């Protein structure tokens, strides 16, 4: 059963295809009589007409497709974002293509180029590095793009993220209130905005609270192994820490592994906080104290922002920071007496 085309609908309604096209398109329905619109719609419904989006795309050069670029869909940070974005995109008639860059700048570049060739209308990018050539390409070509979760240095794109500084503040203050004076910040890889702003917030808040014995160690990536390694090294140098503020949940897990390796208990000996409140960390024992980030909402807002860009034209790049919340759980406790 071949697909029914616009011509058939037009014939059934006794009008010219062009007229049928306008009748079906709410934007252009002005020049068509109500009568005709009804007849065409009727015919379309009866024949089960589904417009051929390639023909349409060819003519209008809009595909109604947007791409979402993530480093690794396996990382529980991203599925909620994907979900949120897909939800609002679908509602607006867009289709979401997901692309997983495997955390490699090169694959990312290739993927994005391929997608551009496919005529994708816009990008939501969750992989931004601080210096990011892919994003630069997109900027130069003026491809509608919005950044989510992380941003780049150039700052030429709208960005939807969360209030990193406040999140870290919550952690540090909580720990300070619990009596901790000697705190390690386990930061993310330096080429990411999240790592940078969280680290900056850490030193600032530590200073505000008069914490003198603080230190920042950077992990090479947002992975448990990198976290463990960085934490182990830092703990070796500065065994005095009684608390660790990790820049992400997986880093916190790495930190806990490093503590365990040194025979330190969490939270009795050393408190640990995570970041993101990824799905499962509340089920661990002890459940991880962490900062809840509204990931799904980020995805939704990123999509909405992109939609705005797509039909509204370009406005001033928005920078949207969603509020975060401290989830007090089992990995934080009063500083041990020494």
Helix (H) or strand (E) holding 97: strand 95-100
* Residue 227 · residue 218 · CB < 8 Å: no
- Closest approach of Cβ 222 to DNA, in Å? 39
> Which residue is associated with the tokens 């406040």?
166
Footprint of a copy of itself on residues 228-257 (CB under 8 A)? Answer: 253
CA distance linking residue 87 with residue 293, whole number of Å: 18
Interface residue with a copy of itself among 5, 11, 109, 116 (CB under 8 A) is: 116
Position 166 contacts DNA (CB under 7 A): no
Position 1 contacts a copy of itself (CB under 8 A): yes
* Residue 290 · residue 244 · CB < 8 Å: no
Q: At what angle do helices 295-312 and 78-91 cross, to 10 degrees?
A: 40
Stretch that binds a copy of itself, among 18-26, 32-40, 97-105, 226-234 (CB under 8 A): 97-105
- Closest approach of Cβ 142 to a copy of itself, in Å? 10
> Which residue is associated with the tokens 């060819």?
58
> Which residue is associated with the tokens 């990011």?
132
Position 42 contacts DNA (CB under 7 A): no
* Residue 206 · residue 183 · CB < 8 Å: yes
The 3-state DSSP composition of the chain as helix, strand, coil percent (nearest 5) reads 45, 15, 35
25 binds, among DNA, a copy of itself, none (CB under 5 to 8 A by kind): DNA
Stretch that binds a copy of itself, among 58-66, 145-153, 234-242, 259-267 (CB under 8 A): 58-66
136 binds, among a copy of itself, DNA, none (CB under 5 to 8 A by kind): none
264 binds, among a copy of itself, DNA, none (CB under 5 to 8 A by kind): none
Interface residue with DNA among 12, 32, 171, 234 (CB under 7 A) is: 32
Q: Please list, in sequence order, all residues whose beta carbon lies within 8 angstroms of the beta carbon of residue 162, skipping any fewer than 6 positions away.
A: 293, 294, 298, 321, 322, 323, 324
Position 2 contacts a copy of itself (CB under 8 A): no
CA distance linking residue 171 with residue 276, whole number of Å: 12
Q: Pick between residue 111 and residue 194 the one whose CB is nearest to a copy of itself.
A: 111
The token duo for 19 is: 């007229």
15 binds, among a copy of itself, DNA, none (CB under 5 to 8 A by kind): DNA
Position 55 contacts a copy of itself (CB under 8 A): yes
Q: Is the peptide bond before 286 cis (omega within 30 degrees of 0)?
A: yes
* Residue 300 · residue 124 · CB < 8 Å: no
Interface residue with a copy of itself among 261, 280, 319, 323 (CB under 8 A) is: 280
Q: Pick between residue 55 and residue 98 the one whose CB is nearest to DNA.
A: 55
Position 285 contacts DNA (CB under 7 A): no
CA distance linking residue 294 with residue 275, whole number of Å: 12
248 binds, among DNA, a copy of itself, none (CB under 5 to 8 A by kind): none
Catalog residues that contact DNA under the rule CB under 7 A: 3, 5-7, 14-19, 21-22, 24-25, 27-28, 31-33, 35-36, 49, 51-52, 55-56, 58-61
């Amino acid at each position: 059963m071949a697909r029914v085309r616009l011509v058939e609908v037009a014939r059934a309604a006794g009008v010219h295809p062009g007229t049928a096209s306008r009748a079906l398109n709410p934007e252009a329905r002005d020049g068509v009589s109500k009568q005709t619109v009804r007849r065409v719609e009727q015919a379309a419904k009866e024949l089960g007409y589904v417009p051929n989006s390639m023909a349409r795309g060819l003519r209008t050069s809009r595909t109604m497709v947007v791409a979402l670029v993530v480093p690794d869909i396996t990382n529980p940070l991203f599925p909620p974002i994907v979900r949120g974005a897909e939800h609002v995109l679908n509602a607006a008639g867009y289709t979401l293509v997901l692309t997983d860059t495997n955390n490699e700048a090169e694959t990312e570049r290739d993927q994005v180029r391929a997608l551009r060739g496919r005529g994708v209308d816009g990008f939501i990018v969750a992989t931004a590095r601080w210096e990011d050539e892919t994003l630069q390409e997109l900027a130069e070509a003026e491809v509608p793009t919005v950044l989510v979760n992380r941003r780049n240095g150039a700052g030429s794109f709208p960005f939807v993220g969360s209030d990193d500084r406040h999140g870290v503040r919550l952690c540090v203050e909580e720990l300070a209130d619990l009596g901790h004076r000697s705190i390690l910040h386990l930061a993310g890889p330096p080429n990411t905005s999240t790592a940078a702003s969280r680290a900056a917030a850490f030193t600032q808040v530590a200073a505000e609270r008069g914490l003198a014995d603080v230190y920042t160690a950077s992990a090479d990536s947002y992975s448990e192994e990198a976290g463990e390694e960085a934490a182990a090294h830092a703990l070796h140098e500065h065994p005095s820490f009684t608390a660790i503020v990790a820049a992400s949940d997986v880093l916190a897990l790495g930190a806990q592994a490093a503590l365990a390796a040194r025979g330190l208990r969490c939270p009795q000996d050393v408190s640990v906080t995570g970041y993101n409140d990824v799905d499962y960390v509340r089920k661990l024992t002890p459940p991880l104290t962490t900062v809840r980030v509204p990931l799904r909402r980020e995805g939704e807002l990123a999509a909405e922002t992109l939609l705005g860009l797509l039909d509204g034209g370009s406005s001033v790049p928005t920078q949207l920071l969603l509020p975060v919340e401290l989830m007090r759980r089992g990995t934080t406790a009063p500083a041990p007496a020494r």
